[in-house]
Structure formats: C-alpha cells, structure tokens
C-alpha cells in the first residue's frame, strides 16, 4: 500500500493521477476541477441565515467559520457548488446561495474576441508595451519618433508579443497636466497605421481613456481599446468599441486622470472584494452599451490607486477577478510595488516582473502586458510546463 501526498495548489495533481488510472483526459480534467479547493467569504448575512447555514453546510461536508453577519466557507468546488443552488436550499439561504454561485470559478474563457479574431488563451498572450510618450515612468522618450516606435514594436513581436499596446499618454505618478486629445492622436495614429500595414497578423491595442482617440485609432487599424479608467472617464469608449466589434480591456483604478497612479484613493476595507465589485460595475456598463462579453478582458490595475501591499494581495488573490469569467490581463511590468519588494530601480525590474507574471499565470491570468517580452515569455513557459504543457520538441 502506497500513500502519496499531492499539492492542492497544482491543477494537474488529481488530473494526472486519474489519467494514469485509465480515465479519459477530458473526463479526468472535469473531475479534477471539482476536487479543487475553494475558500469563499460572504458578508451581510442575518442571524437567521447563519443559523440555518451552519448545519446545512455541515451536512454537505463544507467547513466553515462564522461571526456576526459573515461566514467563511471552505471545501471542494463541487461541494460548494452544491450549496450554491438557490432552488435546493432553505428559502432563508436563497440569497446566500446566489451570492456564493457568483463567487465560484466558472470555466475559464477559451478565447478573447477582437474584431473578428479569436485570441486563443490556451497559452499565455504577451502584450508588448509601446509607449510613444516623452514622460512614461520607465521608457519615456525612447520611442517618440514613429520610426523608432515601429522598430521597437518589431523587436517585441520577434520576442513573442501577440499584441502591441500603443500608449500616447503617460499615467505616471506626479503628472500635473492631462494630454489633450489632438496631441494624443498626433502621437498614436501614425504608429498604429504603420503597425497595421507592416504586421497584419499582430493585434494592435491603443491605450487610451478618450473615445475621440479610440475611434480614429480603430479606424487606423487597431483591434483593442485598453481603458485604464474602466469607462469611468469616458463611457462612450464602449459605444466606439461596440460599433467596431473591437476588444476592450477594462482596468481598475480610482480617481481622476491625474490621480489614478497615486495613493489618493488607495483606501480599502477589503481590496479584493472592492476591486471585484468595481470591475463588475465597469463590465456591466460595457455590456449595457453593447460590447459582447466575449470581447471584454479585465485588468486588476496593479500600481493604480493601490499601495504596495494591496498590489501583492490582489496578485495573490487574483481569483477575485478571474471568477468574473472574463479573460484577465495583468500589467505588473516595472511597477513601483515590485521595486518596494526588491529594491530595484525601474530599469532593473524585468526579472521580478517575469516572476510576478508566472505567479499570476498560476492564479488564472492569461494576458500579460510587459516591457521585456522575451524574459516574461521564458518565465511563463516554465509556469505552463508546471501545469503539464510542454512546448513541442
């Protein structure tokens, strides 16, 4: 008789055992997903709901801790899913069951739709950063001339970028003046046009919070609008995206244009819950204005309106965002919180960026916005191999 411990953090542990015992790989993957351990915190419960929940959850084999108006549930995904059925629980627990169901992981999306293209997510998608600004925090002024920007984009593509994210307005801390739309268009449009002409197979994203920059950028050949304000600054971006059939990245941030990269609005009682709720609100606005769900990706906004410890918590608890069911973009590249952890200056943070991306991949992120594509691609290749996916020999 042999007993072997398995790491519950590894998605492949139970799956590989079942396959070794003769299970079909697809069936094994489904069964293993049900064995995945889940932990859910629910607040706002009244005393009657808690009193009914304790014995009911216990009969399902779910462990719990409770206090006044809150409960912490722990168990396999399949057991928690059995509790998340409003039609099978006592009426006093129906609202709790609905809330629990919204917090459980759904099947991860297989692709991100962007202007008729399906960016498949069975492997990491690398989004190369192309700042055409004079003042970005780590590479400002390096790619202001269109020919320099296009040359750098070519290097990013050769390193493995499937998306190039072109930004014409810096969001660095300490800015005192927003960039006018006409100046942002002057910086961005020639680069987008030339990238679309030279690299027709590459997805082009425009990093803007203005609909009157997004529209001409899409007309020039862009496929995605990456809005760091999550439609708070200019909800009409959603109308532009819907009309073009483009992709949309909704990033979490707070405050006005000059505050979003500062700590001015970095006060949270529960960072994970609040970021999740605020991204849900952005998602609802986009959907209501006609953007299909399969076109929308979400970004927790590392470095935006968050202190270092809040960024680390969000990265570790990325399930709060991935459980919303959309593709998840992360952009930790060279951010200040990584410098706090390592002591490194911005131009020496690419290694820790790659490590952060690998940890976020393990937690469900699939799209990675970075400056150093090659280093991050290597780290993600290893993270993917840990999940059982080796590149072809």
* Active site positions, annotated: 335, 369
Would strands 37-43 and 70-76 be described as parallel, antiparallel, or unpaired?
A: antiparallel
Query: Alpha helix (H) ranges present in the chain?
Result: 13-20, 25-35, 47-59, 77-83, 94-103, 146-159, 181-198, 211-219, 236-244, 271-288, 308-316, 319-322, 336-342, 350-362, 373-386
350-362 vs 308-316: helix crossing angle, rounded to 10: 40
Question: Which helix (H) or strand (E) segment is 322 a member of?
Answer: helix 319-322
Q: Left, alpha or beta for 214 (phi > 0: left; psi -120 to 50: alpha)?
A: alpha
Query: Alpha helix (H) ranges present in 162-203?
Result: 181-198
- Taking the C-alpha atoms of residue 277 and residue 154, their distance in angstroms, rounded to an integer, is 38
Q: Left, alpha or beta for 325 (phi > 0: left; psi -120 to 50: alpha)?
A: left
- Taking the C-alpha atoms of residue 375 and residue 333, their distance in angstroms, rounded to an integer, is 11
N- to C-terminal Cα separation, the chain:
36
- Taking the C-alpha atoms of residue 123 and residue 380, their distance in angstroms, rounded to an integer, is 9
Q: Running DSSP on this structure, what letter comes out for residue 231? A: T
Inter-residue contact 136 to 170 (CB < 8 Å): yes
């Amino acid at each position: 008789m042999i007993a072997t411990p398995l790491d519950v953090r590894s998605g492949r542990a139970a799956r590989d055992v079942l396959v070794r015992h003769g299970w079909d790989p697809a069936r094994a993957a489904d069964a293993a997903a049900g064995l995945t351990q889940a932990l859910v915190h629910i607040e706002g419960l009244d005393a009657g709901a808690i009193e009914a929940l304790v014995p009911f959850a216990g009969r399902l084999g779910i462990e719990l801790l409770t206090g006044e108006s809150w409960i912490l549930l722990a168990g396999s995904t399949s057991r928690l899913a059995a509790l998340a059925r409003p039609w099978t629980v006592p009426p006093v627990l129906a609202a709790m069951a609905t809330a629990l169901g919204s917090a459980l992981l759904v099947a991860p999306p297989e692709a991100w739709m962007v202007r008729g293209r399906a960016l498949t997510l069975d492997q990491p998608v690398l989004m190369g950063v192309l700042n055409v600004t004079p003042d970005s925090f780590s590479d400002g002024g390096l790619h202001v001339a269109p020919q320099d920007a296009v040359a750098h984009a070519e290097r990013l593509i050769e390193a493995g970028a499937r998306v190039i994210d072109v930004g014409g307005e810096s969001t660095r801390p300490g800015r005192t003046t927003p960039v006018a739309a006409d100046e942002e268009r002057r910086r961005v449009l020639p680069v987008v046009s030339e990238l679309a002409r030279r690299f027709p197979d590459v997805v082009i994203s425009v990093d803007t919070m203005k609909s009157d920059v997004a529209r001409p950028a899409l007309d020039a050949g862009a496929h995605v609008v990456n809005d760091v304000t999550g439609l708070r600054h200019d909800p009409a971006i959603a109308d532009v995206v819907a009309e073009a059939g483009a992709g949309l990245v909704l990033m979490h941030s707070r405050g006005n244009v000059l505050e979003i990269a500062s700590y001015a609005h970095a006060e949270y009682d529960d960072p994970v819950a609040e970021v999740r709720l605020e991204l849900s609100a952005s998602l609802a606005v986009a959907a209501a204005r006609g953007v299909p769900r399969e076109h929308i990706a979400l970004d927790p906004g590392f470095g935006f309106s968050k202190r270092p410890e809040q960024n680390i918590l969000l990265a570790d608890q990325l399930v709060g965002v991935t459980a919303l069911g959309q593709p998840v973009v992360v952009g930790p590249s060279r951010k200040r919180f990584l410098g706090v952890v390592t002591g490194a200056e911005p131009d020496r943070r690419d290694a820790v960026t790659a490590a952060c991306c690998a940890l976020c991949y393990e937690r469900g992120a699939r799209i990675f916005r970075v400056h150093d594509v090659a280093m991050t691609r290597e780290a993600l290749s290893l993270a993917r191999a840990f999940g059982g996916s080796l590149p072809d020999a």
